[in-house]
Amino acid sequence: MPELPEVETVVRGLRPILVGKTIGAITMRAPKSSIVVSPTLKLQQFEKLMTGRKVTGIARRGKNILISLSGHLTLWVHLKMTGHFSWVPKATPIDNHDLLIFDLADTSRHLRFNDYRRFGRLRLFRNDELWQQKGLVELGPEPLEITAEQFVALCHRRPRQIKQALLDQSLIAGIGNIYADESLYYARIHPRRLTTSLARAKLTELHGHIQRILRRAIRLHGTSVDTYTGVNGQTGSFQSYLKAYGNEGEPCERCGAKIVRERIGSRSAHYCPRCQRLH
């Protein structure tokens, strides 16, 4: 699933394409399960409600994309596993998995939302209802905005395994498997260490690694280890710098021990058993 750097890359790719443009028409080919609208709106009117709206801004919150529209509406997009946007000439043949097609006024190109696994979600809400919705209301702070002191306080709030804590979007929003594994590797923290067992200095160090890694991944347009690409089809390049994630059986660059992969809860964790000791 795309994480903060990948979603931020998509948002930055969408802004010059969409902001200030008017949606001339919408072609909806998505299953009903992929489209959610506010209870005060009607699903049958989705295309009508979108048509003629001007895109006024695009933002990211955690792993969510928020496309602001004129008339106090927001199109809220979650890419899930395989959702992505493409900016293509209108004459480009429609793919079976192109679920939503934006026909923008005064341009010869389409913006298409493609999702072959169809787990992605497109939600349309009134702005005054948006931030009360499950999936947004419970999100924790942004990892690039939270201070070290705030991060330490969150981790020390109650005992839990640090890897699971980093993946909890209600604790901190936007981090997933890739960047949790990489941050813990650099901080030399075992993913099963309890948050309350980690000293303030160690958590402060981890906070610094999280921010440094996320910023570098954004500069490199994210990590392409599966299907992720940016709006123009460009792949990320941070995968060339991964030290732990996906490197099971490979030697640790620091000590030579083999990176292991272990199931923690419902997710996997990659770490060095020598550099990241549990005890």
Question: Tell me: the pLDDT tens digits for 116-126?
Answer: 888 889 999 99
- pLDDT reported for residue 32: 75
pLDDT at 37 over 90: no
Find the mean pLDDT for residues 30-45. Answer: 80
Among 65-74, 134-143, 229-238, the minimum mean pLDDT is found in 229-238
Verify whether residue 63 is a known catalytic residue.
yes
- β-partners of residue 123 are 36, 76
To the question of whether residue 158 is assigned a binding role by annotation, the answer is: yes
pLDDT digits (tens, 9 = 90+) for 191-232: 999 999 999 999 999 999 999 999 999 999 999 887 788 897
Strands 121-126 and 267-271: unpaired
Q: Please, are residues 73 and 160 in contact by the beta-carbon 8 Å criterion?
A: no
Which is catalytic among the residues 29, 141, 267, 273?
Answer: 267
Which is catalytic among the residues 3, 6, 8, 205?
Answer: 3
Among 17-21, 41-45, 197-201, 233-237, the minimum mean pLDDT is found in 41-45
- pLDDT reported for residue 118: 84
Share of the chain above pLDDT 70, in %: 100
Find the mean pLDDT for residues 17-25. Answer: 95
Verify whether residue 2 is a known catalytic residue.
yes
- pLDDT reported for residue 75: 96
To the question of whether residue 221 is assigned a binding role by annotation, the answer is: no
Q: Quickly name the fold that domain 4-130 has.
A: N-terminal domain of MutM-like DNA repair proteins (3.20.190)
For residues 31, 34, 40, 42, the Cα torsion angle rounded to the nearest 10 degrees is: -20
Q: Please, are residues 228 and 235 in contact by the beta-carbon 8 Å criterion?
A: yes
pLDDT at 88 over 80: yes
Verify whether residue 6 is a known catalytic residue.
no
Looking at this protein, which amino acid is placed at residue 84?
A: H
- The percent of the chain in helix, strand and coil, each rounded to the nearest 5, is 30, 25, 45
Q: What is the pTM of this model?
A: 0.95
Verify whether residue 258 is a known catalytic residue.
no
- Highest CATH level, class, for 148-271: mainly alpha
- pLDDT reported for residue 43: 67
pLDDT digits (tens, 9 = 90+) for 41-66: 876 788 899 999 999 999 999 999 99
Which is catalytic among the residues 60, 63, 121, 163?
Answer: 63
- pLDDT reported for residue 269: 97
Q: How far apart (Å, rounded) are the C-alpha atoms in residues 216 and 59?
A: 20
Q: How far apart (Å, rounded) are the C-alpha atoms in residues 130 and 67?
A: 12
What are residue 239's phi and psi, to 5 degrees? -60, -25
Find the mean pLDDT for residues 79-95. Answer: 93
- Which of the 8 DSSP states describes residue 145? T
Of 61 and 265, more confident: 61
pLDDT at 73 over 70: yes
To the question of whether residue 97 is assigned a binding role by annotation, the answer is: yes
Give the domain ranges of the chain. 4-130, 148-271
Q: How far apart (Å, rounded) are the C-alpha atoms in residues 279 and 96?
A: 52
